[in-house]
Amino acid sequence: MLSIFTVSYYAAGGWIGFWALRVLYRLSPFHPLAKVPGPRLAAATQLVEFYYNVLNDGQFIFKTIEWHEKYGPIVRIGPNEVHVNDPSFYNVLYSKDYRFPKSQGHYRFAQQTEGGLGNCNSRVHKSRRAVLDPLFSTQSVLKLEPRIRKYVDLATTRIGRNAENSEKEGFEINSVFRCMTVDIISEYAYSEAIGMLENERENDPFFVGMDNLIGLTWLYSWTWRFQDLLRALPFSLVSKIMPEDVLGVVAFQQQAEDRVVSFLADTEKAKAKFTHTTVFEVLLNGNQEKGYEVPSLNALKEEAWGFLAAGSETTAAALSNGIYEACKEPSLQQKLYEELLAEFPDPDSDPITYKRAVQLPYLTAFIKETLRTPPGVPGRLPRVVPKEGVTVCGQFIPGDTIIGMSSILQQFDPNVYKNPSKFDPDRWIHDKIPEQSFVPFGKGSRGCQGMNLAWAEIYLIYANLWRKYSFKLHENSTLVDGWTDQFIPKRQGKLKVVVIPRGK
């Protein structure tokens, strides 16, 4: 009988031999992607991505940009993955026809398999999106604008109340933006706000946990099986295992999931509380005659906390980015103020509305530039090439290949944007920017569903803030210019500002 040592020896040898042959095949001329240029090491193993994203804190997208400069518009960035830098192909890859389905592996960090971000089943996603889209249409946003303005007013008041103290200590304005966006998306989607602003929960454990999760995004994408195991365990047990600074998000997920359970327990009683049609109500009452399938309990839970997370963090980060850039160049603030003063000479008696704010050219230019540098999701969004394959820039890409593009390359294209690294709102007034070169919310069937809501939030809070206050960086502000890719941009440091009220 063979000893355990002998069996282990042969097993290890077989495993090593298998991977050696696999790497040789990936590098051989027989591989379907053999003719696609790119670094040999990246073609051999996905550990290159692990090195740059996990060990080097979200640097893979910047390495990919370097590879494009060296190899051209199509680069092989993994054993079975290519990355494209061709603006004309963006609307083809991210179209509305679901021709290129999502690639599951890249989105595992989201800890979702059935919710919006993690659901890679095109048929299910299409039918679910069809019933949810009306909730996030421009008409629906305008209808619920009074509810949105309620939280904008709370946030504006909260910022103004800290004006005096901000001279001494600096005011961390991003915390208010985060509270506001969480309250708006929870009120909008579930008709019941979390209460972050009213209860002044700027330092809520949820935000601490979210910061830690964002910093570990790519690690989660490599340890998804462990995450699935944790999610299968009771929350009471997980709370004893997980670090305290991560438990905030776990608890937040649990709260969102509890809402689903409460709704399902008594739907009529739950509906009576609502001021408008909600996500739960629509998901449970979609037209099944048109092929719609009511989501499972797990899918409803994932949608519940997925909407809250996705609908808050990116918008808050964009708002802070604009404040930061305007503090570095005060003349931008003066232009915004003069435009808003002319349109809203007395905002107390003539409230700022979305319909009027969206007509202001310089405010619009400033917001677009805020969303451009950097984009809300700067890195690649991988899709799967259909079986018949696709030709890009004269290069045939076979079916089942993973293919992706990155909005950072679209929105920093030097052929479109003069001096692309400079924050310059005037470019939107003087230059003609092609539609495919501005994609802050993505495009096609998987584009951001809450895009119209985000536009309304940004217009309303910016219009109120720039009309009533000016800002300057406090000496204790530590926010840096550079950022890393953690699916969303992550900057180091805290943005602390001095809030200066304007006269009427």
**Token pair recorded at residue 186:** 């929870």
C-alpha to C-alpha distance for 215 and 237, rounded to whole angstroms: 24
Position 29, amino acid: P
To the question of whether residue 327 is assigned a binding role by annotation, the answer is no
Beta-strand runs (E) in 227-364: none
Tell me if 183 sits within 8 A of 221, measured CB to CB: no
In this structure, are residues 197 and 504 in contact, taking their beta carbons and an 8 Å threshold? no
Dist CA 14 CA 21 (whole Å) = 11
Q: Which DSSP string corresponds to 203-248? A: T-HHHHHHHHHHHTHHHHHHSHHHHHHHHHS-HHHHHHHS-HHHHH
In terms of Cβ atoms closer than 10 Å to its own Cβ (0-12, 13-18, 19+), residue 2 is exposed
DSSP β-ladder status, 74-78 and 81-84: antiparallel
Cβ atoms within 10 Å, residue 434: 13
| Closest to 201 measured CA to CA, from 238, 133, 251 | 251
The residue among 266, 230, 225 whose CA lies nearest residue 108 is 225
Which H or E run includes 298? helix 297-310
Taking a C-beta distance cutoff of 8 angstroms, is the pair 22, 341 a contact? no
Distances (CA, A) of 134 to 128, 189, 278: 11, 12, 11
What's the CA gap between 20 and 240, in Å, rounded? 41
Q: Residue 374: is the preceding peptide bond cis (ω within 30°)? A: yes
Q: Please enumerate, by residue number, every residue annotated as part of a binding site for heme.
A: 448
Q: Please enumerate, by residue number, every residue annotated as part of a binding site.
A: 448
